Amino acid sequence: MTTPRATLAFTLNGRAATVSARKSDRLSAVLRDDLRLTGTKTGCDAGDCGACTVLLDDRPVCACLVAAGQVEGRSVTTIEGLAGRSDIGRRLQGAFLRHGAAQCGICTPGMLIAAEALLGQKSDPDESEVQDAVAGVLCRCTGYRKIVAAIRDAASSVRGAPLPQAGSAVGARIERLDGARKVEGTDLFGADAYPADCLLLRAVRSPFHRARFTLGDIDAYVASHPGVIRVFTAADVPGANRFGVIPVFADQPAFAEHEARFRGEAVAAVVGDADAVAALDLTAFPVIWEELPALRTIGAALDGDAPLLHASREGNVLVHGRVARGDPDAALAGADVVVEGTFETGFVEHAYIEPEAGYAARIGDRIEIAACTQSPYMDRDDVAAILGIAPDAVRILPTAVGGGFGSKLDLSVQPFLAIAAWHLGRPVRMAYSRRESMMTTTKRHPAYIHARIGARRDGRLVAMDFTGDFNTGAYASWGPTVANRVPIHAGGPYFLPHYRALTRAVHTNLVPAGAFRGFGVPQGAVAAEQLYDMLADRLGIDRLEFRILNALQPDQPTVTGQVLGEGVDIQRCLEALRPHWARARAEAAAFNAEAGGPMRRGVGIGAMWYGCGNTAMTNPSTIRLGLKPDGRLALHQGAVDLGQGSNTVITQICADAVGAPIAAFDLLSADTDITPDCGKSSASRQTFVTGKAAELAGRKLRQAILMRANAGDDAVLTFGDGVVAVRDGARENAIDLAALPGDARGYVLAEEAKFDPPTTELDADGQGTPYAVYAFGAHMAEIEVDIELGTVRVVKITAVHDVGTAINPTLAEGQIEGGVAQGLGLALMEEFHPGMSENLHDYLLPTVGDVPPIESILIEGNDATGPFGAKGLGEPALVPTAPAILNAIHDATGVRIHRVPATPDRVLAAIRAGTHA
Ligand code: FES
Ligand code: FES
């Protein structure tokens, strides 16, 4: 029986408030759903993420754990009331903006509230006091360092730095242009906004990894549940019951038919009034399950007798990847030293703090979907196919995205919402629970890797032979991309004259594995970079100098035969580590010499390279730029900013290309009706590809203005109210914008530019030009191992990255710090077990206390391809961290970890077994 609502009176953000709610309702739900204060976010409803932190009186609490009845007569402060509560809140918001402490922003309200409580008690906290204060709030984007710095710096001025003048935006540490919304709690994420008459949808999902099923009497179910309007199943899909991020591999049904291939796969959706649907016990839904034996490991799936998940995919192999060059067998046979090893990694959960959410509404013969996504145009095309309508009849309106890291490239809520809204003609919303999100959305591929690497006595590498199998789960998702990107990158940023890398993406009855920051490259680096350390040790060469000796040079071919010619800065990255390596090695040696207890210190290096953009395929972005009659510039920028900063960086690039101040720009962010296709936010491509399109569009518009004024290339532009002044030496012209005719969008001048990185298809041996530009980097980890407990504490990470040009160094550092934190999780603590760790309590994420000081060193180079020379950074930032930590564990203990994460039990077992290598 439902508890009746009561009128609750309390003080909310300094004012008397009343609300009609059940006393047992979560305070977070009352704030968000009844009072529509959506600045308070919810990421778990279990007290694990801290996103819902509010002040109850002056104490920070998780609003999801507070019953609404508890607030009667008391005072509640949410992010919406922060600035009005005290000067502390305003100073904190300013400091978060200055430091780049908000990336996606979904954790920001909780962080700010927790910090407000601390600073209310203590005005000048030290680092550990700040860490304690925010320890209950998880952030998946920033690596926490800038958050801690911002809180400690909140005593300084509220005001941000003024925006740079025309021509000086590139390289400036400007605040995130969309940052104010994030620190004020007004950014609208997937679950935050929906029409008032919206229905609620919940999915009925398989409780088994593999099961045949039969649906029962659905009509009777609807009739017997007041408030339920309709149930949708595969029979209700108007178009193709199939979607997938790579069209030729599309294989995932919106609703399973007859058999569920993984635990959590949807078989039906129940839609109705929000209260009624929210209260349903879906275990009582009429479906009869017949559990079937499930393939859960790569080995089981490859067994010749294993049933096929997809009839056309022989041996359960989705795709093979191959890159081969020279004669690796002969070269390894002739090598002076050869090392080999087997390495394994597990599923890793993206664990963004925002579970998938959104709503859909049918507008005549069109459908509009507002949801969190990394890939609006891909969503548009897939939804159109599912509904059997034309792509331009679908409008995708990306909401703010509370972290994605690759998983929000794939459809989640969109098919269900589209099908329901299309049939019902009423808006329908859905928000995944944390469990639903973790159970059903894509993961990092578990990998099983074996490799051999050989070198000459003088330290020069001669060959590598690599095989890697990747557990891609039940459906294709990005399995083909992983299987094709890994063989190119498996050798790392070194010259390898003889090379063979073979990969397979293998289907199992587990959650689909997809894109996760690096498309399999981090797993490959875990193996290769440990083998390089083993090789250096066998050769008696310093591990850093061994890498420098073999670092790829601009005139050397890569393993795909590409000679980059420029922008090959791995040697500079490694050389930048030399003084840090010497200092850290000396400190570790001194520590270990003095240590009488169980602690051992170690230092390790990992290096990386990463091709920016899609692999060996067309990969364009288009930017539109319009000059409005009032003298302002409209930038149609369709790249989704999920925290990485593309809204800001791309505007900085465009501003300098035009020669206009950033303040003259109005940003139109991703919306498939109004922004051209900028592709997906993944593959470290947005700064590089969309940024280049923005540079080209900016230069075209500048040329159009200069032509009108008959001015030379060096002329200075000034954008005023209704006028653009053009000063060319001593000559000054003013273009009266009101006198110019406007186009269909009202622009008096407009330009579009498209950039598609020059790549080629690869031949059967993987030879060709898969990427136009590679980013390089190297990390050094300093760690301490307790050899009695097996615990590992990371003391410091020094991260060097070749960014080409740092468009915004603050945001670049933020990407590095966030990548390091995720790499640390991969190395030491994160492993998703389907069916077991489907919450943020059992699945361990790095917290503020786990992330050490990070020293970022940005290397700028001379690659002319990208915008002002810039390269991508999002994925490169993660790749080297785990191998650096694993090599440091070996340095400290003498044992090699072959299975990540290196949890205390595994480290201890390796120490006890003496797994020396
Ligand atoms: S939503 Fe309350 S702690 Fe996660
Ligand atoms: S900024 Fe903290 S979770 Fe995204």
Q: pLDDT tens digits, residue range 86-145? A: 899 999 999 999 999 999 999 999 999 999 999 999 999 999 999 999 999 999 999 999
142 lines ligand 2 (CB under 6 A): yes
Q: Pick the residue whose CA is nearest to atom 3 on ligand 2.
A: 139
Ligand number nearest to the C-alpha of 102:
2
Q: What pLDDT is recorded for position 863? A: 82
Ligand 1 pocket check: which of 31, 40, 44 to mutate, most ligand atoms within 8 Å of Cβ? 44
Tens-place pLDDT, residues 217-264? 999 999 999 999 999 999 999 999 999 999 999 999 999 999 999 999
Ligand 1 pocket check: which of 32, 42, 61, 352 to mutate, most ligand atoms within 8 Å of Cβ? 42
Ligand number nearest to the C-alpha of 41:
1
Q: What pLDDT is recorded for position 598? A: 95
Going from the Cα of 819 to the center of ligand 2, the distance in angstroms, rounded, reads 12
The per-type count for the chain, helices as H runs and strands as E runs, is 24, 31
**Which atom of ligand 1 is nearest the CA belonging to 49?**
4
Q: What pLDDT is recorded for position 864? A: 85
Ligand 2 pocket check: which of 103, 151, 642, 845 to mutate, most ligand atoms within 8 Å of Cβ? 103
Strand pairing class (854-860; 792-804): parallel
Ligand number nearest to the C-alpha of 138:
2
Nearest to 651 by CA among 15, 179, 111, 151: 179
Q: What pLDDT is recorded for position 2? A: 61
Report the 10 Å Cβ neighbour count for 390: 10
Is-contact 72 108, C-beta < 8 A?
A: no
Q: Which residues line ligand 1 (CB under 6 A)?
A: 28, 42-45, 47-52, 62, 64
Going from the Cα of 561 to the center of ligand 1, the distance in angstroms, rounded, reads 50
477 lines ligand 2 (CB under 6 A): no
- Low-confidence stretches of the chain (pLDDT < 70) are 1-2, 157-160, 915-917
**What's the chain's length in residues?**
917
Ligand number nearest to the C-alpha of 405:
2
Going from the Cα of 137 to the center of ligand 1, the distance in angstroms, rounded, reads 9
Going from the Cα of 138 to the center of ligand 1, the distance in angstroms, rounded, reads 10
Q: What pLDDT is recorded for position 96? A: 97
Is-contact 609 547, C-beta < 8 A?
A: no
Is-contact 321 107, C-beta < 8 A?
A: no
Q: What pLDDT is recorded for position 157? A: 60
What is the C-alpha separation between 45 and 24, in angstroms, rounded? 14
Q: What pLDDT is recorded for position 916? A: 53
Place of tokens 């067309």: 618
**Which atom of ligand 2 is nearest the CA belonging to 111?**
2
3-state secondary structure of 260: strand
Instruction: Write the DSSP string, 11-40.
Output: EETTEEEEEEE-TTSBHHHIIIIIS--TTS
Report the 10 Å Cβ neighbour count for 157: 11
Ligand number nearest to the C-alpha of 48:
1
Q: What pLDDT is recorded for position 736? A: 97
643 lines ligand 2 (CB under 6 A): yes
Burial letters 263-298, b for 16+ CB under 10 A, else e:
bbbbbbbbbbeeebbeebeeeebbbeeeeeebbbeb
Residue 515: partners with Cβ closer than 8 Å, 6 or more residues away: 245, 406, 407, 409, 410, 442, 477, 478, 481, 482, 682
Instruction: Write the DSSP string, 579-627.
Output: HHHHHHHHHHHHHHHH--SSEEEEEEEEEEEEE-SSSSS---EEEEEEE
Ligand 2 pocket check: which of 107, 434, 845 to mutate, most ligand atoms within 8 Å of Cβ? 107
- Report DSSP state, residue 412: S
Q: What pLDDT is recorded for position 681? A: 84
139 lines ligand 2 (CB under 6 A): yes
846 lines ligand 2 (CB under 6 A): no
Distances from the Cα of 255 to the Cα of 213, 267, 516, 639, 735, angstroms = 12, 5, 24, 29, 58
Burial (CB count <10 Å: 0-12, 13-18, 19+), residue 659: buried
Ligand number nearest to the C-alpha of 433:
1
Q: What pLDDT is recorded for position 684? A: 79
Ligand 1 pocket check: which of 52, 56, 138, 192 to mutate, most ligand atoms within 8 Å of Cβ? 52
What is the C-alpha separation between 749 and 724, in angstroms, rounded? 12
**Which atom of ligand 1 is nearest the CA belonging to 42?**
1
Going from the Cα of 107 to the center of ligand 2, the distance in angstroms, rounded, reads 5
102 lines ligand 2 (CB under 6 A): yes
What is the C-alpha separation between 913 and 907, in angstroms, rounded? 10
What is the C-alpha separation between 542 and 266, in angstroms, rounded? 54
Residue 892: partners with Cβ closer than 8 Å, 6 or more residues away: 588, 592, 600, 601, 602, 783, 784, 785
Is-contact 814 146, C-beta < 8 A?
A: yes
Ligand 1 pocket check: which of 38, 48, 138, 843 to mutate, most ligand atoms within 8 Å of Cβ? 48
3-state secondary structure of 468: strand
What is the C-alpha separation between 527 and 511, in angstroms, rounded? 24
Going from the Cα of 785 to the center of ligand 1, the distance in angstroms, rounded, reads 32
Question: Nearest 5°: phi and psi at 580?
Answer: -70, -40
Is-contact 226 276, C-beta < 8 A?
A: yes
What is the C-alpha separation between 664 and 67, in angstroms, rounded? 47
Question: Up-side HSE of residue 779: CA atoms within 13 Å toward CB?
Answer: 36
Residue 634: partners with Cβ closer than 8 Å, 6 or more residues away: 625, 626, 627, 628, 665, 666, 668, 745, 747
